[in-house]
């Protein structure tokens, strides 16, 4: 097949211009796996009967190690605070600043995500004074973020989530390794 055929398919040979009609089974054809082997439809039905997803059974993220949890917190903080660069400038912003542009609802959503980060820090064993400072950062970010536009600009510059992860990392570095 040539490139021209992809962009402008040829007319049918019958000249009528109508599309060929197939029955349902003819149009569907065999089911082929990624290795090119044909799969019987009966085996697919069996596979779907065996597939189950149990809600409420353990963590949806599986059993993560401490390092994996910390890496996840860092990644979420970067996504929220510094994922993008404003074109033509050196100003970094994240989805926290974008979602915050939605009046009230956006600030509530981003504050809830920030509170989840604090909860995860507490689950990692952060003491009350670290947790209190993290909650203070979230509170300042949430309250000032409620002010239209000026609050969003403050949110981009303050970066509460990045501050909170940095607080947690400093505390973790001081802890003895086990």
**Complete DSSP assignment for 32-75:** E-TTS-EE-HHHHHHHHHH----TTSS-TT-S--HHHHHHHHHH
Question: Is residue 51 domain-resident?
Answer: no
Number of domains within the chain: 1
The residue segments making up the domain with residue 83 are 66-174
Question: Is residue 140 domain-resident?
Answer: yes
Whether residue 133 has pLDDT greater than 70: yes
Question: Is residue 157 domain-resident?
Answer: yes
Question: Is residue 60 domain-resident?
Answer: no
The mean pLDDT of 102-129, rounded to a whole number, is 92
DSSP letter for 8, please.
S
pLDDT band at 19 (very low <50, low <70, confident <90, very high): low
Question: Is residue 56 domain-resident?
Answer: no
Kindly tell me the sign of the dihedral angle through the C-alpha atoms of 71, 76, 80, 85.
positive
Give the percent of the chain with pLDDT over 70.
67
Lowest mean pLDDT: which of 30-39, 50-59, 62-71, 107-116?
Answer: 50-59
Question: Is residue 14 domain-resident?
Answer: no
CB 73 within 8 A of CB 120: yes
pLDDT band at 175 (very low <50, low <70, confident <90, very high): confident
Could you tell me which residues come within 8 angstroms of residue 27 by beta carbon, excluding any fewer than 6 positions away?
none
pTM, whole model, 2 decimals? 0.63
pLDDT band at 176 (very low <50, low <70, confident <90, very high): confident
Question: Is residue 43 domain-resident?
Answer: no
Question: Is residue 116 domain-resident?
Answer: yes
The mean pLDDT of 60-77, rounded to a whole number, is 83
């Amino acid at each position: 097949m040539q490139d021209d055929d992809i962009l402008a398919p040829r007319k049918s040979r019958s000249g009528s211009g109508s599309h060929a009609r197939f029955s349902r089974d003819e149009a569907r054809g065999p089911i082929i796996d990624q290795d090119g082997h044909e799969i019987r439809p009966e085996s697919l039905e069996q596979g779907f009967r065996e597939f189950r997803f149990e809600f409420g059974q353990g963590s949806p993220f599986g059993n993560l190690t401490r390092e994996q949890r910390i890496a996840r917190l860092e990644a979420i903080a970067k996504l929220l605070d510094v994922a993008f660069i404003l074109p033509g400038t050196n100003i970094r912003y994240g989805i926290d600043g974008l979602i915050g542009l939605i009046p009230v609802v956006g600030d509530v959503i981003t504050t809830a995500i920030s509170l989840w980060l604090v909860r995860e820090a507490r689950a990692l064993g952060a003491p009350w004074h670290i947790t209190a400072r993290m909650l203070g950062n979230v509170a300042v970010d949430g309250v000032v973020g409620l002010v239209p536009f000026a609050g969003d600009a403050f949110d981009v510059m303050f970066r509460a989530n990045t501050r909170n992860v940095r607080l947690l990392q400093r505390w973790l570095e001081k802890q003895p390794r086990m």
